[in-house]
Amino acid sequence: METQQEIDYNRIAEAIAFLKSNFKNQPSLEEAADHVHLSQFHFQRMFQDWAGVTPKQFLQYLSVEHARYILKNTEATLSETAEETGLSGTGRLHDLFVKVEGMTPGEYKNGGASLSINYSFAESPFGNILVASTSKGICYMAFVNESQTEALQALQNQFPNAHYTQLVDGIQQNGLFIFNQDWSKLSQIKLHLKGTPFQLRVWETLLRVPVGGLTTYASLAQQAGHTGASRAVGTAVGSNPVAFLIPCHRVIKSTGETGQYHWGATRKSAIIGWESGLLQNAV
């Protein structure tokens, strides 16, 4: 049975899909509310509670013009961007993630035979999420698009020889604090990732894209030191094993379109809008 939070998420996700597909017509609040069978009052309140912005603002945040506006501003330094967002006291957003540690070649080759992995399911503003950790950090985080059994199987496919325990630990909790906007906890987040040196470089570069900001595959390739390798960078982005914490949702097409997302295009748009709301409320 769905929880109330899941019901609310699905309803808002349906509204977002409606707004995206009808964006050129700029649907009214009444039309969007009718689509999800809510009164205008309840729809406005639910949407704002969930996303932190009104439906009208959300349309603005997802517009091509808005995306291009943010892209133009990514030329600012990280410290300047961090200061503008007001979300980090460190002055550099990527310092919030104090360590990105790739697994050793042995751990990579043997499918995690030496690893003990704790995992748990949790609620997020964007639906159920599976998070897993080793003693060194979070090694996997994924939105649950199917059953929990299938989601767990996808994790186990990543590390077929590891030992698994369903257990909530402090490493997982520190990572999940990001959804509660408890920014004071972000300095405690550690990541323990399985990937090639190229993938690790791309994922580490993704951590430097500030909250509320967007980048393109070409720009990300350049920042990662692989100018011209947009396609390879795109493949690395699509292989990201840690949803949201490694913000692959902040990578969009050069045309300004949001593009696809491993956990669903609607969820990607929702996250971009949610983060835009945080940016708007912080300045």
- Rounded to 5 degrees, what are φ and ψ at 141? -150, 130
Could you give the CA distance from residue 239 to residue 262 in angstroms, rounded to a whole number?
Answer: 9
User: How far does Cα 9 stand from its chain's mean position?
Assistant: 16
Q: Which residues are catalytic?
A: 248
| Cβ burial, residue 241 (10 Å; 0-12/13-18/19+) | buried
Could you give the CA distance from residue 45 to residue 32 in angstroms, rounded to a whole number?
Answer: 13
Separation in Å, CA 198 to CA 184, 195, 205, 222, 224: 30, 8, 11, 13, 9
